[in-house]
Amino acid sequence: MSGPICLHRVVEVQSGLHIAYIESTPNCKPEPSKGVILVIHGFPQTSYQFRHVINPRAAHGYRVLEPDYRGAGKSSKPETGFTKSTIAHDRVLLLDELDIKEKVHVIGYDIGGMIAFTLAAKFPARVASLNWGECPLPRTSAYQEE
């Protein structure tokens, strides 16, 4: 990883479900910041995918979180729960575990883009802005497949 990634952690967000994430904050201090950016990686990537994106955003004053979704990286690998809705809910559980109450900026790539859209659709009170790329759009047959 390049630069001062401040945390590599694994937290239990639900009984038996552990989510690994990396975090970078301005000057490696948790506050103050311009807000929180939650980045959701694609498949078959992990949080490592955005290693060159995290620190520059933090340098501009944001707290940046990049969790591995269930089944990826060092997160739990359960036998079930690999739907967009469930993985979006996992992101909310992570925000709760980290005591992040403010709305967050969500960025998703590939399958992470579909999860990002689902998170915004199902939990709009948690999302300040949404950005996604290189993924099927909602209301297409590719998106509709869980």
For 79-127, the pLDDT digits (tens) are 999 999 999 999 999 999 999 999 999 999 999 999 999 999 999 999 9
pLDDT for residue 4 is more than 70: no
Neighbours of 1 (CB within 10 A): 13
The answer, yes or no, to whether residue 2 has pLDDT greater than 60, is no
Residue 120 DSSP one-character state: H
Q: Which of 21, 26, 75, 70 is nearest to 48 (CA)?
A: 21
**Domains of the chain listed by start with CATH number:** 7-144 (3.40.50.1820)
pLDDT in tens, 6-62: 788 999 999 999 999 999 987 777 666 799 999 999 999 999 988 888 888 988 889
Confidence of residue 1 (pLDDT cuts 50, 70, 90): very low
Mean of pLDDT over the chain? 90
pLDDT at 16: 93
